[in-house]
Chain A
Amino acid sequence: EAGVAQSPRYKIIEKRQSVAFWCNPISGHATLYWYQQILGQGPKLLIQFQNNGVVDDSQLPKDRFSAERLKGVDSTLKIQPAKLEDSAVYLCASSLVRVRLAGERDTQYFGPGTRLTVL
């Protein structure tokens, strides 16, 4: 089974420029997540999609960040304009939503991430 794919793997831009990241989740996974991981910290959820609808975007800086999920499959995350503090690894994850036994949850599978450096 192919894993979560992300591109590009690395990106260097200057502040105030725009950048976009792409994610292709595991086939059949209805839920897609974007996380931001700043150096020395754990991943922080930015936005969560179920199919092509947004479930949670409470931690997305909407003045500069936007995300969409095309036809409920691939997703793009955009930053416009970028700031120095946006330097981080952007992780995409997906999970299969299904009925589970009490106390169980779906596992989130992560892609390799895109390392963004803003100069």
Chain B
Amino acid sequence: DQQVKQNSPSLSVQEGRISILNCDYTNSMFDYFLWYKKYPAEGPTFLISISSIKDKNEDGRFTVFLNKSAKHLSLHIVPSQPGDSAVYFCAASERAQGAQKLVFGQGTRLTINP
């Protein structure tokens, strides 16, 4: 039972354009969502997060949008840079006391072409 789904295994975008990565979830108890970025031979690195009390969170070139009614979130990267080439994981968690259990999607490999 895949509770968090990233249906696009890969995405290729030209440098300077917008990259849009999508994520869907099925568990209505999820109330906190994160995006992690992973380079080869490294662990995932936290990128940006959003609480279910918001519908948008922005940090520099990265913006995450949350559509609770559709159980859908997306990550926008503008403008895309070659260093953004990596695997991006969407993750979700339920309300918890302090610590949290993350459920990850399968990942989307983003390639930025010069």
Contacts and interface: CB of A to CB of B under 8 A. Distances in A.
Interface of A: 4, 31, 40-45, 48, 50, 55-56, 91, 93, 95, 97-98, 102-113
Contact of A106 (B36, B52, B54, B98): B98
Interface residues of B, number: 28
B98 to A, nearest CB: 4
A42 B105 contact: yes
A40 B106 contact: yes
Given A91-B43, A95-B99, A104-B51, A43 B32 contact: no
30 contacts: A42-B4, A42-B105, A42-B106, A43-B89, A43-B104, A45-B101, A45-B102, A48-B101, A91-B44, A95-B99, A97-B99, A98-B98, A102-B53, A103-B51, A103-B52, A104-B51, A105-B32, A105-B49, A105-B51, A106-B98, A106-B99, A106-B100, A107-B46, A108-B46, A108-B100, A108-B102, A110-B43, A110-B44, A112-B41, A112-B42
A97 B91 CA distance: 19
Interface of B: 4, 6, 32, 36, 41-46, 49, 51-54, 89, 91, 93, 98-107
Contacts of B36: 110
A39 to B, nearest CB: 11
Contacts, number: 67
B89 A42 contact: yes
A103 B53 contact: yes
A91 to B, nearest CB: 6
Closest CB pairs A-B (n = 7):
A42-B104, A110-B43, A103-B51, A97-B98, A31-B99, A103-B53, A110-B44
**Central interface residue in B52, B98, B107, by most chain A CB within 10 Å:** B98
Contacts of A95: 99-100
